[in-house]
Amino acid sequence: MSLVFQVIGAGVAGLSVASELSQRGAPVRLYDRNGPPGPHACSWWAGGMLAPFCEGESAEEPVMRWGQLAADWWESMGASVKRNGSLVLALGRDQRELDRFSRRTHNHHWLNDNDLLTLEPELGGRFTRALYFPDEAHLDPRQALGALTQTLREQNVEIITSEGHFTQHAIDCRGLTAQDQLSDLRGVKGEMLVLRCPELTFNRPIRLLHPRIPIYLVPRGEGVYMLGATMLESNDRRRATVRSVLELLSSAYALHPAFGEAEIIEIGVDARPAFPDNLPRLRIRNGILFVNGLYRHGFLLAPTLARMTADYLLEKKIPEFLDAN
């Protein structure tokens, strides 16, 4: 009997692992108890920024290094990746936050009000300077998850709506649900909104720094924007609070008053699965391989984790993010 890998969980982790294995010719079965990707998965709510350099502000070095490979991988899997860079801004009295951000990150340069006017005309006159990260990209997570589902289907791998079998060749990609096996996995709650604001055209993700309430906006096209995201130490995956939504919306309004007229399309919430160092890893426990801990870097780091998983399973290469004890 030939070996069939059983991938359990079809969020960004499971789908990426299954796609990578299947692409390399390995037989795969993919299970999700909730069926194809949808609001039940944390991945559904992500912003979709592929911003390894911006993340360097607070993340450990590997995030920057591995994150740079994400855009190409997603494109090779049929996702539509926009490579317009990203912009980082701060309101008048928070300018020091911007200086701090520039000290902690790489691969950026300063823009003055004129540059800004050329790049994002809507911001002209509202901000006198910005940090520009030209090598960053973004995607629409739901489109990207759909692309992986489609690629797999073309290779005759369908998502099976079932719990899956936790047998020897199981690859556990259950996200936060794997807390039942991984005691150091915790949830970091994130709340987000989707807004429609046809008056505004932004072409790239915009981060607005603030000491307490930093936000970002990711354009989804046709005047639709994802507005994110809170970061709260909590496993709660259900309740978006008035406070969080108010804070996110006020910041968006401060970024541009036209958001006052925007339509609220969605209010979303989920908890990101994270290990204590906020880095993802492969972990072997009782013969099962766990691929987890993507934290706020699901789309940024799933490609690398998927490659590491395939390298390990198919070529016995010991990956950087493996913990096997």
Partner 1 sequence: MANFYGVELSSPLMLGTSQYPSPAILTDAFRNSNASVATVSVRREAGFEKAGNSFWKLIQELGVRVLPNTAGCYSVREAITTAQMARELFDTSWVKLEVIGHPDTLQPDPFGLVEAAKLLNQEGFDVFPYMTEDLILAERLLEAGCEVLMPWGSPIGTGLGLNNLYGLRSLRAHFPDVPLVIDAGLGLPSQAAQALEMGYDAVLLNTAVARAGDPVKMAVAFARAIEAGQLAYKADPMEPRDMAAPSTPVLGKAFLR
Indicate whether 49 belongs to the interface with ligand FAD (CB under 6 A): yes
Instruction: Tell me the per-residue interface mask from 207 to 236 with ligand FAD, x by CB under 6 A, - otherwise.
Output: ---------------------xx-------
Residue at token pair 């399973």: 313
> Which SS3 state, helix, strand or coil, does residue 21 take?
helix
**Residue least distant from ligand FAD (Cβ):** 11
Measured CA to CA, the distance from residue 162 to residue 35 in angstroms comes to 8
Residue 117 CB neighbour total at 10 angstroms: 16
| From ligand FAD, partner 1, none, interface partner of 219 (C-beta below 5 to 8 A by class) | none
Chain residues 3-42 in contact with ligand FAD, contact rule CB under 6 A: 8-14, 31-34, 40-42
Residues contributing to the site for partner 1 (CB under 8 A): 58-60, 100, 103-104, 179, 184-187, 189, 211-212, 232-236, 239, 241, 243, 276-278
**What tokens were used for 119?**
């790049």
Instruction: Tell me the per-residue interface mask from 257 to 296 with ligand FAD, x by CB under 6 A, - otherwise.
Output: -------------x-xx------------------x-xxx
Cβ-based nearer residue to ligand FAD, 112 or 168: 168
Measured CA to CA, the distance from residue 35 to residue 29 in angstroms comes to 13
Cβ-based nearer residue to partner 1, 236 or 311: 236
Q: What count of Cα atoms within 13 Å lies in the side-chain half-sphere of residue 28?
A: 32
Long-range CB pairs of 216-222 (<8 Å, 24+ gap) are 216/47, 216/49, 217/252, 217/255, 218/47, 218/48, 218/49, 218/138, 219/82, 219/138, 220/140, 220/194, 221/140, 222/198
Minimum distance of partner 1 from residue 219's CB (angstroms): 27
| From ligand FAD, partner 1, none, interface partner of 278 (C-beta below 5 to 8 A by class) | partner 1
